Structure 1
Amino acid sequence: MTLQKFMVGSIENCDLPGLGIIDLEVRVDTGAKTSSLHVDHIKKFKKGGKKWVSFDIHPTVHNVDEVITCQAPLRDVRKIKSSNGVTEERYIVRTSIRMNQQEWQIDISLTDRSDMSYLMLLGREAMLNRITVDPSETFLLTSE
C-alpha cells in the first residue's frame, strides 16, 4: 500500500500515543536528521534483561507542574550534534507518532531542550516518505 504524502507547516501538533502525549506542539525541521524530545530525569535501567530508560515529560509548555513519567526500551545511544554545534551522547527510543490521522513508528533522541521554544523537534527520518514541508506555513493540519 502506497501512502499519500501530506503537507505540514514549520510548526504542527502531533500525538505520541506510545508515551501518553496528546496534542504536542512540534517544530518541523528538515535540517535535523533525528527527532528530539525535551525530557527531564533520564534514568537507564534493566527490565526483563533489556535496557530501558525512564524520563519525565512536561507535555504542556505553559504548565511546568504537569509531568508525565514514561518508560521505553532503549533503542540506541547516538552522538548527535545540536543546533549550536555541540555533540552529545543521547538515548534513543522508538515510539509511535500520530499526525493527519496516520500513525507510524519514529526514533526520538531524549535531551534537554529547555532553552528551545518547542518541546519536540520533528526530524527528517520521521518524515521520510510521509510528509512534505511548506516552511512558510504553520498548523496546516489543524486548519483542515
Structure 2
Amino acid sequence: MNKEIIGWREWVELPELSLGKIKAKIDTGARSSSIHAYDIEEFTRNNETWVRFTIHPDQHSDERVVGCEARVKDYRSITDSGGHKSMRYIVETEFRIGNDSFLAELSLFNRSSMLFRMLIGRTALKGRYVVDPARSYCLSTPPEVTTSEE
C-alpha cells in the first residue's frame, strides 16, 4: 500500500468547527491530536454531552476568535511530553489535509504557551501517511489571503 508523504507541518481544515485552515505540527512522538481551546464549557444536547469552547486558530495571534461546539466522545487523562497528566475533553471531527478527509479524535487543551495551535499525533496519522521531517506542506496549501478595499 502506497502512503502519501506528509511534512512535519501541514495546513489542516476542521470543517465541522468552521475554523478555516489552521497550521498544525505533525508529531509522531504524540499519541493523540490536540487543538488550542479555552473557555471550555460542558452542556447537554439531546441527552448527549457536548462542549462549547473558544479557539484562537492563527499562529502567533490572538486576534481572531472562533467559538465552536462539538459532541464529547470521551473525557480522559492525557500525558504531555513533559510527563504531566491532565484530564481533557476528546471530540471526534473531520480532518482535511489537502485532498484527504478522515475522522479523528482531537483533545481540547490550552496550548497558548506552545508554538503550534494544533498538533496531529500518530493515532490520526496511522496507516495514512509517511512523515518526512525535512519537508513542510507536502499535501496542503496556505489559506487564501483576502484583502478588503476601503
Q: How does the TM-score come out when normalised to structure 2?
A: 0.89
Match of 1:36 in 2: 34
Match of 1:129 in 2: 127
Give the percent of matched residue pairs that are identical in Structure 1 and Structure 2: 36
1:59-98 paired onto structure 2 within 5 Å: 59-98=57-96
Gaps of 5+ in 1: none
Find the aligned partners of 1:102 and 1:109 in 2 and give their Cα distance.
21
Does the CA contact (< 8 Å) of 2:97 and 2:140 recur in 1?
A: no
Gaps of 5+ in 2: 142-150
Aligned-residue CA RMSD (Å):
1.4
Match of 1:14 in 2: 12
Work out the number of aligned pairs and report it.
Answer: 141
Q: How does the TM-score come out when normalised to structure 1?
A: 0.92
1:70-124 per-position Cα deviation (integer Å, ceiling 9, x unaligned) = 1000000111111121000100000000012011101000001111100000001
Question: How many Å apart are 1:138 and its aligned residue?
Answer: 1.4
Match of 2:110 in 1: 112
Moved more, 130-139 or 117-126: 130-139
Match of 2:48 in 1: 50
Does the CA contact (< 8 Å) of 2:60 and 2:115 recur in 1?
A: no
Find the aligned partners of 1:109 and 1:62 in 2 and give their Cα distance.
21
Residue identity in the other structure for 1:74: V
Does the CA contact (< 8 Å) of 2:8 and 2:133 recur in 1?
A: yes
Find the aligned partners of 2:100 and 2:7 in 1 and give their Cα distance.
16
Match of 2:22 among 15, 24, 49: 24
Find the aligned partners of 2:138 and 2:131 in 1 and give their Cα distance.
10
Secondary structure of the structure 2 residue equivalent to 1:107: strand
